Structure 1
């Protein structure tokens, strides 16, 4: 079968992990974009933050950047999930042709 890279169990695992990653990263990205105070420990604060003329805006910009990074990672999980779905479909076609 042309294009078949992984088996049915690996493809199913990829789908499950992708769904979980998409849900988790989209929610985390939303919470970063709305500037959730609980996530301040996960924001990379630079040393020269307090020398900035507007420190709160600098922190909000860092929150937004981390949120956008979460959305980008979720998009990567969408691609991995699509690849896993294609692999699952190819595995089903292979089983159908064999029987």
Structure 2
């Protein structure tokens, strides 16, 4: 007996594709934050006042880069879980349609 799928076949395929894109994009973004890419400097959560309070040290900037990289890796992990769920839904839909035929 096949369990009832939650998502339909088209939605599960769409969610799989979006999850794959999220995994790739956030994985690469996390890598670029981890290597302290200068192009992403404006996107780190650091204000001028806080940097001035820390006496303009580079260690606070590197800490913020690493924090943002970990956030990207965590979000990519969540997308991996969504991808696994979508693949399970695709398999359930294909088994359900196969048994009805």
Question: Whole-Å Cα distance in 2 between the matches of residues 26 and 6 of structure 1?
Answer: 26
Q: Secondary structure at the match of 2:46?
A: coil
Deviation above 4 Å: which 4+ runs of structure 1? none
User: Corresponding residue for 1:73?
Assistant: 75
TM-score by length of 1: 0.94
The superposition leaves residues 2-31 of structure 1 with CA deviations (integer Å, 9 ceiling, x where unpaired) of: 241010000000110011000000000000
Question: Whole-Å Cα distance in 2 between the matches of residues 38 and 28 of structure 1?
Answer: 11
TM-score by length of 2: 0.93
Aligned residues: 99
Where do 1:1-99 residues align within 5 Å? 1-46=2-47, 47-53=49-55, 55-99=57-101
The alignment's C-alpha RMSD in Å is 1.2
Could you tell me which runs of 5 or more consecutive residues in structure 2 were left unpaired when the two chains were aligned.
none
Using the TM superposition, give the Cα deviation of residue 51 of structure 1 relative to its aligned residue in structure 2, in angstroms.
2.0
The superposition leaves residues 28-76 of structure 1 with CA deviations (integer Å, 9 ceiling, x where unpaired) of: 0000000000001110113321221562010000000000000000000
